[in-house]
Amino acid sequence: MKILAIETSCDETAVAILECSGNEKAAKFQILGDALLSQVEKHRPYGGVYPSLAKREHLKNLPHILDEALAQAGISVKEVDAIAVTAGPGLEPALWVGIEFAKKLAVEYDKPLVAVNHMEGHVLAALAQKKTDDRLQITDVQMPILALLISGGHTELVLMKKWLTYELVGQTLDDAVGEAFDKVGRMLGLPYPGGPEISRLAEQVRTSDVLTSNVGHRMSDIKLPRPMIDSNTCDFSFAGLKTAVLYLLKSLSKIPTNGMIYHTSPTEAQKKQIAHEFENAVADVLWKKTALALNQTGAKTLVIGGGVSANIHIRRTFRERIARDFPETGLRIPEFALTTDNAVMIALAGYYRALRDEFTSDIRANGNLALA
């Protein structure tokens, strides 16, 4: 079955065409076309995604992105079997652009439509293993699956005991982890999105001697809390961590000299140290809550999905600690190309829903669409 998938939930305009076969337990995919345009440069001056700009850009770019995906696949829309589109969660004005576009194509070419939950796309993208550059497969997955979903809008632990049936195990009580990365990035004067920038600085600390170099403050000054790490729930909180960075920056900027207080910007070395400690704090909390959830649920597979799963320190931490503490648990982390938003993951989820004949012409954008 050829699925044409459209993703416009945030600031990526993406279309993918996949040849899909098999069943839920053993599915194979060949990527025929995969076109993506990131709007990140356009949103950078605003320090975050600006919804009406995202909508305008999707409207302008979607026809070209479709043409590019079709050209890569060497087919026309006539030859696809179904059209999948993200219905939520995400920015509603942006979602509507993709949905209206998909509906028009479906009517024009008389194709069935499938509504996709973006987060289900992240889960399936993490389960999919790359065989060659353009082939993916989802096989040998032990149930139940625990999914740690970490993105700009979500931080949650969900359990899948049966395919595509989700139970919420834990979630953030305030900020999403990607949001915390982006806000801390802004406080450190880094460009949007902050996640990859913080990761870059933190890795420099791990691979250099900046921790021991003379930067004006001892490393012990740079200590951040691990919110809720010892609470006996699988819920998270990141707002306090973000505020702790703010207070830390304020305290570092005050230099008492001759009875006066002078304010300075953090040095590059201090920024690196803060990025490093912030990332360590995030990884520690994510791991502790996930370990608690693995013990509570007895899940046999752990999946990490969403944009923050691109973070190399989090990937490394989970690989090491799963091998150490849960050697029987299978760990699935997406290919780098499938971590942040893309349309391949929407095609995977579209196929799984098409296998259940969940076709509908009545798709509405739902910014808060939940998995469970």
Q: Is 367 in the site for ligand KG4 (CB under 6 A)?
A: no
- Spatial separation of the C-alpha atoms in residues 194 and 267, rounded to whole Å: 18
Instruction: Give the CB-side neighbour count of residue 259, counting CA atoms within 13 A.
Output: 0
Q: What tokens were used for 267?
A: 């040095």
Query: In this chain, which stretch among 20-28, 155-163, 225-233, 306-314 interacts with ligand KG4, using CB under 6 A?
Result: 306-314
Query: In this chain, which stretch among 136-144, 191-199, 206-214, 362-370 interacts with ligand KG4, using CB under 6 A?
Result: 191-199
Size of the site for ligand KG4 (CB under 6 A): 19
Provide the sign of the torsion angle of the four alpha carbons 105, 346, 178, 334, taken in this order.
negative
- Strand residues in 53-134 grouped as ranges (E): 82-88, 113-117, 129-132
CB nearer ligand KG4, residue 22 or residue 48: 48
Among 151, 237, 317, 342, binds Zn ion (CB under 5 A): 151
- Spatial separation of the C-alpha atoms in residues 249 and 6, rounded to whole Å: 42
Among 88, 170, 307, 334, binds ligand KG4 (CB under 6 A): 307
Among 191, 196, 240, 330, binds ligand KG4 (CB under 6 A): 196
Q: Is 86 in the site for Zn ion (CB under 5 A)?
A: no
CB nearer ligand KG4, residue 10 or residue 31: 10
Q: Are 11 and 151 in contact (CB under 8 A)?
A: no
- Residues from 199 through 218 that contact ligand KG4 (CB under 6 A): 199
- Spatial separation of the C-alpha atoms in residues 86 and 74, rounded to whole Å: 24
Among 11, 182, 341, 349, binds Zn ion (CB under 5 A): 341
* Residue 170 interface partner, choices ligand KG4, Zn ion, none, CB cut-off 5-8 Å depending on type: none
Query: In this chain, which stretch among 40-48, 66-74, 150-158, 181-189 interacts with Zn ion, using CB under 5 A?
Result: 150-158
Q: How far is CA 281 from the centre of its chain?
A: 18
- Spatial separation of the C-alpha atoms in residues 150 and 138, rounded to whole Å: 21
Tell me the closest approach of the beta carbon of residue 125 to Zn ion, in angstroms.
Answer: 9
- Spatial separation of the C-alpha atoms in residues 254 and 270, rounded to whole Å: 13
Give the DSSP H or E segment for 255. strand 254-257
- Spatial separation of the C-alpha atoms in residues 219 and 280, rounded to whole Å: 14
Tell me the closest approach of the beta carbon of residue 78 to ligand KG4, in angstroms.
Answer: 31
* Residue 308 interface partner, choices Zn ion, ligand KG4, none, CB cut-off 5-8 Å depending on type: ligand KG4
- Spatial separation of the C-alpha atoms in residues 116 and 103, rounded to whole Å: 14
**DSSP label at residue 264:** -
Among 153, 170, 266, 350, binds ligand KG4 (CB under 6 A): 153
Residue with the CB atom nearest ligand KG4 in the bound state: 307
Binding site for ligand KG4 (CB under 6 A): 10, 151-153, 178, 181-182, 193-196, 199, 306-308, 310-311, 340-341
